[in-house]
Amino acid sequence: MIFELEAVGGPWMRRLAGRRTFIEELAWEDLAKESSPPLAEQARVVWTQSAFSEYASAAAFAEIASALLAAGAPIDLVAASGDFVADEMLHAELSARVAAALGGAVPLEVDLTKLVRPASPSASPLLRAAELVMRTSCIGEALTVPILKRARAEAGSSLVAAVLARIIEDESAHAELGSWFLDWAAPRLTDADRATLGRIAGAALRSFAPVFGGACSSDARLGVLDCTSFDTTFTDAVAARVVRPLAARGIEIPRADLDELTA
């Protein structure tokens, strides 16, 4: 199906009112004036893909919330993961609004039945939750934050910078969920569990690389990093925000996965 977003309004939209207040205050009409047609065309593609990625992240946190409940995780971690679903839906709307302001979203065919890669069915409830948290918070969100910060710093549009700033504010908390969960789970994880999580992290890194790497351009004014900036930011983030924090918790990513990622 073609990816689309819609809302029914009424009391259901009011549940998001506190998160959406600033959206109507942004000067969306100015964005088209700040971009050239070739640059806008490229950015429309990336921001449309970003809207879908945020939508998929909402599905991931919904899955995480269910897994945390099954694992008997602390109630505040469960509540946070559920609340992150609303954050991600806001991000999907913001990304779609940027694409629309640049001339309209591009057609994007998606399979909404495959938004989240399921955790291993043979694993324990705790390890299934850890697998989902690893891929989404410890890898995906952890790598997204520094890339978005760099994009905000280089953006030539005040509107794009404001959108990125809001997404960064939320995504930082989404990334932190990973370390808080792993610290709570630490006494319950075996050495074999940690080795399994290391392999999961390595596979997740390899799968995220081409997704992020395709989101670069020759001009960063509309929130899409140039490829050189992207490569540097991504590589530094893998080391500082993924490899070292996981190693500190006894989770080692296989060297072969890291070498393949660098290559």
- List the domain boundaries for the chain: 34-110+124-262
257-262: Cβ within 8 A, 24+ apart: 257/199, 257/201, 257/202, 257/203, 257/205, 257/206, 258/202, 258/205, 260/206, 261/205, 261/206, 261/209, 262/235
Tell me which of 1.20.1250.20, 3.40.30.10, 1.20.1260.10, 3.30.470.10 is the CATH number of domain 34-110+124-262: 1.20.1260.10
Burial class of residue 223, CB neighbours in 10 A (0-12, 13-18, 19+): buried
User: Cα 242 from chain centroid?
Assistant: 14
Specify the length of the chain in residues: 263
Query: Which pLDDT value is given to residue 209?
Result: 66
Q: For the whole prediction, is pTM greater than 0.85?
A: yes
Q: What is the DSSP string of 146-174?
A: HHHHHHHHH-S-HHHHHHHHHHHHHHHHH
Longest dimension (CA), the chain: 56
| Contacts of residue 209, Cβ cutoff 8 Å, sequence gap at least 6 | 234, 261
pLDDT score recorded for residue 219: 64
Instruction: Please report, for residues 11, 46, 137, 173, the alpha-carbon distance to residue 93 in angstroms, rounded to integers and kept in the order given.
Output: 18, 14, 21, 19
pLDDT recorded at residue 30:
83
The pLDDT value given to residue 211: 59
Helix (H, G, I), strand (E, B) or coil at 238: helix
- Output the pLDDT for position 218: 60
Of 215, 189, 205, residue with least CA distance to 48? 215
Q: What is the pLDDT along the chain (263 residues), one digit of tens a residue?
A: 999 999 999 999 999 998 888 898 898 988 877 777 777 888 899 899 999 999 999 999 999 999 999 999 999 999 999 999 999 999 999 999 999 999 999 999 999 999 999 999 999 999 999 999 999 999 999 999 999 999 999 998 899 999 999 999 999 999 999 999 999 999 999 999 999 999 999 999 988 766 555 556 666 778 888 888 888 899 999 999 999 999 999 999 999 999 888 77
- Please tell me the predicted confidence (pLDDT) of residue 215: 58
